[in-house]
C-alpha cells in the first residue's frame, strides 16, 4: 500500500510534530476530525473524475488506519463510490478511545471531539458495499472496531443482510496479524481479496477467493 499525503485537518505527525518542543503540553487540537479531510478527499475525487480518461461511475474509496476512518466516514455521507475498502479502521470512537494502546494520547488530542466525529453514528446511511479488514493482534486500533463495524453493517446499515444472512459486505479477518499485514503469504491474500472485491463491484466480475479462505457458504 502506498502512503499519500494527509489531507487538511488530519492528525499530522510530520514536520509540525517534529518541531513540537517536549514540554508535555498538549498541542492545539484540529478544528474537526472529519469534515475538512473528507471534503478535501471528495474535492480531489471530483477533480480526478473530471479528467477525460477517467470513468467517474467506477470509483472506489479505500483507506487504512486514519484512512480507514475516513473511508468509514465517507461511507455514511455519500453513495458516490461503487465500493469501499476499510483496513484497520476506527469505527466507534467512544469504544476506540479507552481500548487503544495509547488511550492517554487519544484523550489528550481529541478532547470532546470524538462523539460528534464518530462514523458509527451514520451507519444507517451506508448503502455502499464495504470490505472490512482487520487483524486480531492490532493494539493501536483493536479488533473490536472491525467486529463492531462488521456487525452494524449487517444489522443496522442502509444495506443490511437479508433474511438468509446474505450481504454484499465482506469481512477479511487475520487472527495473527496486527495493524498492518506483515507476513508475505497474508499480504498475498490481502491483495487477492481486495482486488476481487473491487473487480466485483466495479467491473461486475465474479471474485475468486484464495484457497486458504475456503469455499464461500451457499445461500
The CATH number of residue 129's host domain is: 3.40.50.1820
Query: Looking at the predicted structure, is the pLDDT value of residue 28 above 60?
Result: no
Catalytic residue among 77, 136, 179, 186: 179
Residue 73 counted as domain residue: yes
| Residues facing residue 86 across a β-bridge | 63, 132
Residue 4 counted as domain residue: no
Residue 13 counted as domain residue: no
158, with CB counted inside 10 A (0-12, 13-18, 19+), is: middle
pLDDT band of residue 160 (cuts 50, 70, 90) is very high
Q: What is the pLDDT of residue 124?
A: 98
Residue 145 counted as domain residue: yes
**Are 169 and 132 in contact, with CB atoms under 8 Å apart?**
yes
Dist. CA 153–CA 76, nearest whole Å: 11
36, 68, 75, 108, 210 from 101: Cα distances, Å: 26, 18, 26, 14, 32
Residue 17 counted as domain residue: no
Q: What is the pLDDT of residue 14?
A: 35
Residue 1 counted as domain residue: no
Residue-wise pLDDT for 88-126, tens only, equals: 999 999 999 999 999 999 888 887 888 889 999 999 999
Query: Looking at the predicted structure, is the pLDDT value of residue 2 above 80?
Result: no
Catalytic residue among 118, 138, 167, 169: 138
Split into its structural domains, the chain has a count of 1
Q: What is the pLDDT of residue 18?
A: 31
Dist. CA 139–CA 181, nearest whole Å: 13
Which of helix, strand or coil describes residue 57? coil
Q: Mark whether 138 is an active-site residue.
A: yes
Q: Mark whether 55 is an active-site residue.
A: no
Q: What is the pLDDT of residue 99?
A: 95
Q: Mark whether 211 is an active-site residue.
A: no
Q: What range does the domain containing 119 cover? A: 31-206
The C-alpha cell 444495506 sits at 159
How many percent of the chain have pLDDT more than 70? 82
Closest CA to 185 of 85, 199, 176: 176
Residue 18 counted as domain residue: no
Amino acid at each position: 500500500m502506498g502512503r499519500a499525503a494527509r489531507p487538511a485537518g488530519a492528525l499530522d505527525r510530520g514536520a509540525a510534530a517534529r518541531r513540537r518542543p517536549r514540554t508535555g503540553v498538549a498541542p492545539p487540537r484540529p478544528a474537526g476530525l472529519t469534515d475538512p479531510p473528507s471534503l478535501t478527499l471528495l474535492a480531489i475525487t471530483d477533480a480526478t473524475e473530471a479528467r477525460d480518461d477517467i470513468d467517474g461511475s467506477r470509483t472506489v474509496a479505500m483507506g487504512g488506519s486514519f484512512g480507514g476512518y475516513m473511508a468509514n466516514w465517507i461511507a455514511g455521507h455519500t453513495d458516490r463510490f461503487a465500493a469501499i475498502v476499510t483496513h484497520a479502521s476506527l469505527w466507534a470512537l467512544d469504544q476506540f478511545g479507552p481500548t487503544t494502546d495509547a488511550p492517554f494520547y487519544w484523550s489528550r488530542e481529541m478532547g470532546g471531539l470524538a462523539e460528534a466525529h464518530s462514523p458509527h453514528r451514520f451507519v444507517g446511511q451506508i448503502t455502499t458495499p464495504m470490505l472490512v479488514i482487520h487483524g486480531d493482534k492490532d493494539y493501536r486500533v483493536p479488533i473490536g472496531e472491525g467486529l463492531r463495524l462488521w456487525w452494524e453493517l449487517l444489522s443496522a446499515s442502509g444495506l443490511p443482510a437479508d433474511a438468509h444472512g446474505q450481504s454484499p459486505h465482506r469481512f477479511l479477518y487475520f487472527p495473527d496479524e496486527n495493524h498492518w499485514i506483515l507476513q508475505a503469504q497474508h499480504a498475498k491474500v490481502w491483495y487477492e481479496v481486495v482486488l476481487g472485491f473491487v473487480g466485483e463491484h466495479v467491473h461486475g466480475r465474479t471474485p475468486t477467493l484464495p484457497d486458504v479462505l475456503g469455499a464461500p457458504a451457499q445461500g
